[in-house]
Amino acid sequence: MATRTAPLVPLGEAGGTGHAALQRPWHRRLTLSSFADAAEAALGRLSHDRGPWIAVAFAAGIAAWFTLARPGQWLLAMAVVGAAAAAAWLHWRGREERALLRLAAVALALAFAIGVATIWARSAVVGTAPIAQPYIGVVEGRILARVEQPAEKRVRLTLAMREPGTARAIKVRLNVPAALDGPGLVEGAMIRTGARLLPPAPPLVPGAYDFARRAWFEGLAATGASYGAIAIIEPGSEGGAIARAQRRLSAHVRGELGGSPGAIAAAFASGDRGAIADSDEVAMRDAGLTHLLSISGLHVSALIAGVYLLAIRLLALWPWLVVRVRLPLLAATLAAGAGVGYTLLTGAEVPTIRSCLGAALVLLALALGREPLSLRMVAVVAGIVLLLWPESLVGPSFQMSFAAVLAIVALAGAEPVRQFLAPREESWAARMGRRFIMLFVTGVVIEAVLTPIVLFHFHRAGAYGALANVLAIPLTTFVIMPLIALALFLDLAGAGGPVWWLAGRAIELLLGIAHFVAAQPGAVRLMPQIGLGAVLLYVAGMLWLALWRGRTRLLGLPVAALACALMLLGARTPDVLVARDGRQIGVTAAEGRLLVLREGNPDRSSYTLDSLRDAAAVEGGIVAIDRAPGARCSAEFCALTIERGGRAWSLLVARNRHYVDARQLIAACASADIVIAARTMPRSCAPRWLKADRGFLAENGGLALYLDGKPRLVTVGESQGEHGWWRGGERSGWPADPRQGAASGPPALP
């Protein structure tokens, strides 16, 4: 058989750089440049953009570390992926037409392994173990950061101190009531005060917010609240220049407007959300407009775009500069500087840095004459963010922002959209009409992409977010933010009053839209905990749809649709929820009500009750068990019978930790199917199915019980593994209220 020999093409000739390198004899010495040329030529024949898939593999490695339970599994995952890549390399060895697949397999495996190693190293380096036990007493520490929260009537301080009883240096977050605040509580001050400190809390129930994981990566060993007087041991320096500027800017904006408009304007100008009222927060959330309150891509992009356009217009008026300097590059530099300054002024949080980085890359592309919005640019930004903060992958902020950006870029690159927006001979009204239709379509697509992610994290999502955003985003971008910027500029001359008045009316309109949309029937969709597998399948389908090219990308649609079907079919409302300390439970009842052990203060928002209601996905009110039909309660216990799965389930719930006569307790346990208690129950207490007492809850965390059909128990602990922020059996149980005392005499059981 005759063999074909490819002609050698000089490196300097067109077309010879990569293809010839692949076909040179193997005995020739391969240089780094020849290998790079070969790789680029092979990858260039792809029908899709290869860069984003490297970022996807890197993110998959990070996700694997969070999902898998222990170090052996992390190493095994790296080994399996590496073995698969090696097998692919050996299988396709010698086949030049398969060179692309070989390179892709190795690159993806390497990115996956680097992802696992990156988050593993990050956890080992920055992770901070929580304090061993709850502590009540005097603490002394230096203030690292101060955050004002007028809406909560408190100030939140971050302190550097020694762990009580040890010499370990730790960082704690302390809430100080507004009544105890003073001018000396600034960054750098050394203070002494009484405090109640607790380890960072794990999820209250399965599917709830995991603050312990966040605190682990933020270096927080405890959280708590101060009580009593606060003594200033050493004065502080009022923080750095940026912190002082942020506080003064926020106070100035609130002073100019006041009320809800002032709180919203302060959030836009400085990132300070501490003064926003709960009612406005809830309305913005239920209307799908919460993203407007956090300094993110919208705000940074609007500022940078405004500075860029203004700079390039003004610089073009200087002929001497026009002929000597490339104006797009200079304008991009000025806009990038404005974006960095705004990012620093608003606190330099991870979402803001992420947005600033993305905007800077867009400016760089504009300055170089390249396509500013591309999937490759999104992949670069995501890769940098994950390399610096790999833990952000599992947070809703990262997932929602990048999902929205991917949806926008993929939609803009679709051929039907390009044809719809292509320039043509038409009237101004027709052109604006097509832009408005495209804005609405983009909002619908973003809502469709984000809804499963929002429901997974928060169990609730706004149903009319697309409509609300069509009105709110232009109002915020083109009216509110420019008015705030103009008012601040005019305040330098004391002439910003009229503009502040206009800004206040515009913000009132924004709040009116939020409250109107949130008040509509069906404005909020609720869903109990969604299975992680269905969410990962959905993400895989949407990534395929967004990143692949050609008609093959449409295969992502049935995958995403199947994932949504699995979410709907697999999302079961738990029948009983048990908080991690056993002091609160939630039982789903008829008419969407939730029966709880303690109703709490109706005039104050309760994190525990709100978390139970969201996890149960109920819309009705909260009712105490002792007021439920058929419940029998004494001062110490409540007994309740519920019908599930064609049978009656008997619940016995302890209301406190007081002494109980042993014989009565044993008899009550024997007649119950489920016993729930914040105390340690004796071994002789033997219910028919489950005894969730203090020891069991300390080992497993909060519980979700599914009693309809085959009984099933889901715990927080089973999703935590051996990660540093979860100590499981090492926990001694969450503390009882220190004000509780002992009862006198044995009470009667119901």
3-state SS of 434-499 is HHHHHHHHHHHHHHHHHHHHHHHHHCEEECCHHHHHHHHHHHHHHHHHHHHHHHHHHHCCCCCHHH
Compute the average pLDDT of residues 657-662: 74
Quote the pLDDT of residue 366.
66
Quote the pLDDT of residue 160.
94
Q: How far apart are CA 308 and CA 331, in angstroms?
A: 5
Inform me whether the pLDDT recorded for 747 exceeds 60.
Answer: no
Q: Which of 217-231, 280-294, 728-742 has the lowest mean pLDDT?
A: 728-742
Band of pLDDT at residue 400, cut at 50, 70 and 90 = confident
Percent of the chain with pLDDT over 90: 26
Residue keyed to tokens 């499963």: 452
Compute the average pLDDT of residues 101-123: 89
Ordered by start, the domain boundaries in the chain are 9-42, 46-126, 135-239, 245-288+465-523, 532-570, 576-730
Most confident among 78-87, 217-226, 354-363 (mean pLDDT):
217-226
216 neighbors 265 (Cβ within 8 angstroms): no
Inform me whether the pLDDT recorded for 87 exceeds 50.
Answer: yes
Quote the pLDDT of residue 21.
39
Band of pLDDT at residue 369, cut at 50, 70 and 90 = low
Quote the pLDDT of residue 549.
77
**pLDDT higher at 465 or 194:** 194
Q: Which of 44-53, 121-130, 278-287, 523-532 has the lowest mean pLDDT?
A: 44-53
Inform me whether the pLDDT recorded for 19 exceeds 80.
Answer: no
Cβ-Cβ contacts under 8 Å for 364 (sequence gap 6 or more): 332
**pLDDT higher at 740 or 564:** 564
CA end-to-end span of the chain: 94
Tokens of 347: 């606190």
Percent of the chain with pLDDT over 70: 84
Quote the pLDDT of residue 604.
55
Q: How far apart are CA 686 and CA 692, in angstroms?
A: 11
Phi, psi (degrees; rounded to nearest 5) at 685: -80, 105
**Nearest Cα residue to 192 out of 230, 146, 246:** 230
Inform me whether the pLDDT recorded for 26 exceeds 70.
Answer: no
Tokens of 425: 């001979």
Q: How far apart are CA 325 and CA 320, in angstroms?
A: 9
Compute the average pLDDT of residues 169-190: 89
Cβ-Cβ contacts under 8 Å for 227 (sequence gap 6 or more): 193, 194, 195, 196
Tokens of 89: 């390399």
Quote the pLDDT of residue 675.
93
- Read off the DSSP letter of residue 14: T
Quote the pLDDT of residue 728.
52
538 neighbors 560 (Cβ within 8 angstroms): yes
**pLDDT higher at 97 or 517:** 517
CA 157, distance to chain mean position in Å, is 22
Inform me whether the pLDDT recorded for 742 exceeds 50.
Answer: no
Q: How far apart are CA 186 and CA 656, in angstroms?
A: 40
**pLDDT higher at 67 or 268:** 67
Quote the pLDDT of residue 22.
39
Question: Collapsing DSSP states into helix, strand and coil, what is residue 744?
Answer: coil
Quote the pLDDT of residue 663.
81
User: 135 - beta bridge partners?
Assistant: 197
Cβ-Cβ contacts under 8 Å for 276 (sequence gap 6 or more): 151, 260, 263, 264, 267, 293
Tokens of 628: 């439920």
Band of pLDDT at residue 6, cut at 50, 70 and 90 = very low
52 neighbors 375 (Cβ within 8 angstroms): yes
Tokens of 550: 């050609």
**Nearest Cα residue to 693 out of 718, 674, 715, 714:** 674
Quote the pLDDT of residue 167.
82
What pLDDT, in 10s, does the model give residues 301-357?
677 777 877 888 888 888 888 777 777 778 878 887 777 777 776 666 666 777 777
Sheet hosting strand 647-654, strand order edge to edge = 632-633, 637-644, 647-654, 674-676, 690-692
Compute the average pLDDT of residues 28-52: 50
pTM, two decimal places: 0.81
Between the alpha carbon of residue 518 and those of residues 285, 352, 461, the distances in Å are 8, 27, 11
Question: Collapsing DSSP states into helix, strand and coil, what is residue 222?
Answer: strand
Cβ-Cβ contacts under 8 Å for 724 (sequence gap 6 or more): 123, 127, 129, 216
Tokens of 737: 């209220």
Question: Collapsing DSSP states into helix, strand and coil, what is residue 360?
Answer: helix
Compute the average pLDDT of residues 619-627: 84
Band of pLDDT at residue 371, cut at 50, 70 and 90 = low
Q: How far apart are CA 453 and CA 434, in angstroms?
A: 29
Compute the average pLDDT of residues 660-678: 87
**pLDDT higher at 43 or 140:** 140
Could you tell me which CATH number the domain at 135-239 has?
A: 2.40.50
Between the alpha carbon of residue 669 and those of residues 620, 637, 665, the distances in Å are 31, 11, 6
Cβ-Cβ contacts under 8 Å for 241 (sequence gap 6 or more): none
144 C-beta neighbours (distance < 10 Å), count:
16
What pLDDT, in 10s, does the model give residues 89-105?
777 666 555 666 777 78
Phi, psi (degrees; rounded to nearest 5) at 586: -135, 125
CA 298, distance to chain mean position in Å, is 17
253 neighbors 265 (Cβ within 8 angstroms): yes
Between the alpha carbon of residue 321 and those of residues 307, 331, 372, the distances in Å are 18, 12, 25
Cβ-Cβ contacts under 8 Å for 643 (sequence gap 6 or more): 649
Inform me whether the pLDDT recorded for 564 exceeds 50.
Answer: yes
Tokens of 518: 């949130």
What pLDDT, in 10s, does the model give residues 494-513?
888 899 999 999 999 999 99
Inform me whether the pLDDT recorded for 39 exceeds 50.
Answer: no
**pLDDT higher at 17 or 550:** 550
What pLDDT, in 10s, does the model give residues 478-497?
888 889 888 988 888 888 88
Question: Collapsing DSSP states into helix, strand and coil, what is residue 144?
Answer: strand
Most confident among 54-58, 266-270, 396-400 (mean pLDDT):
54-58
Q: How far apart are CA 121 and CA 127, in angstroms?
A: 10
Band of pLDDT at residue 27, cut at 50, 70 and 90 = very low
Q: How far apart are CA 488 and CA 522, in angstroms?
A: 40
Quote the pLDDT of residue 67.
92
What pLDDT, in 10s, does the model give residues 694-719?
889 988 999 999 998 788 999 999 88
CA 410, distance to chain mean position in Å, is 22
What pLDDT, in 10s, does the model give residues 214-273?
999 999 999 999 988 899 998 887 656 666 777 788 888 888 888 889 888 888 887 777
Q: How far apart are CA 735 and CA 715, in angstroms?
A: 19
722 neighbors 71 (Cβ within 8 angstroms): yes
**Nearest Cα residue to 469 out of 264, 276, 290:** 290
Inform me whether the pLDDT recorded for 576 exceeds 90.
Answer: yes
Quote the pLDDT of residue 294.
66
Compute the average pLDDT of residues 599-620: 76
Q: How far apart are CA 347 and CA 272, in angstroms?
A: 9
Q: How far apart are CA 642 and CA 622, in angstroms?
A: 17
Cβ-Cβ contacts under 8 Å for 347 (sequence gap 6 or more): 246, 271, 295
Q: How far apart are CA 506 and CA 293, in angstroms?
A: 15
